[in-house]
Chain A
Amino acid sequence: EAQVTQNPRYLITVTGKKLTVTCSQNMNHEYMSWYRQDPGLGLRQIYYSMNVEVTDKGDVPEGYKVSRKEKRNFPLILESPSPNQTSLYFCASSSDRGVGELFFGEGSRLTVL
């Protein structure tokens, strides 16, 4: 089954404690991206990747890091989480360089206390 898998789905953490949200897709997509969803703000892009070892900032990259060492995986790293990073995070992938259908993961709800 074609899917994008994120983990963890839910996480409560404290300010400053490094965490990683993993994302894996099994569709051999070149393009992967991270979004955060906040009420009234829609989906805002954090980082995206066009292929292995190729990443670029989206619209709200501050406080986040990513890596793309393998085609299927695109982890999101919060080195020192802060309360303003409390949000719902979605990973997505696409076969069409980001302008075709985006396949989203189920989302990861993160709370930073």
Chain B
Amino acid sequence: GENVEQHPSTLSVQEGDSAVIKCTYSDSASNYFPWYKQELGKRPQLIIDIRSNVGEKKDQRIAVTLNKTAKHFSLHITETQPEDSAVYFCAGTRAAMFSGGYNKLIFGAGTRLAVHP
């Protein structure tokens, strides 16, 4: 089955610097890779996602890259701001083990990002 590993578990940067979080996945059939941000005491919320037919996707200061050959994908945050401080989760799909083909998201363990003013 799918396994998603996320690194680093904690990341501390100065405001204005870039932050990069990396994830690897095991199932070569995985085809959908979202990133969720969870602020302290809040629910996770989708910030960006990428599908396997695309190598890179950007949305303002955040971008995600996907390397299918190496089975890893990364979240890049540029010009970090204090409000970027949160826990970030990557995830990957895994085909369900029954007819119907529903996919199930497998989450990484999370990265706690701290942006210091």
Contact = CB atoms under 8 A, between A and B. Distances in A.
**Is B a genuine binding partner of A?**
yes
Interface of A: 31, 35, 40-45, 48, 50, 56, 58-59, 90, 97-99, 101-102, 104-107
B73 interface: no
A101 B104 contact: no
Interface of B: 6, 9, 32, 34, 36, 42-46, 49, 89, 91, 93, 96, 98, 100, 102-110
A99 B6 CA distance: 19
Summarize B's interface: helix, strand, loop or mixed. Answer: strand
Contacts of A59: 106
A44 B104 contact: no
Given A41-B109, A42-B109, A97 B43 contact: no
A102 B105 contact: yes
Contacts of B46: 101-102
Contact of A97 (B34, B102, B108): B102
A98 B104 contact: yes
A98 B93 CA distance: 9
Given A58-B104, A59-B106, A104-B44, 4 more contacts: A35-B107, A45-B104, A45-B106, A102-B46
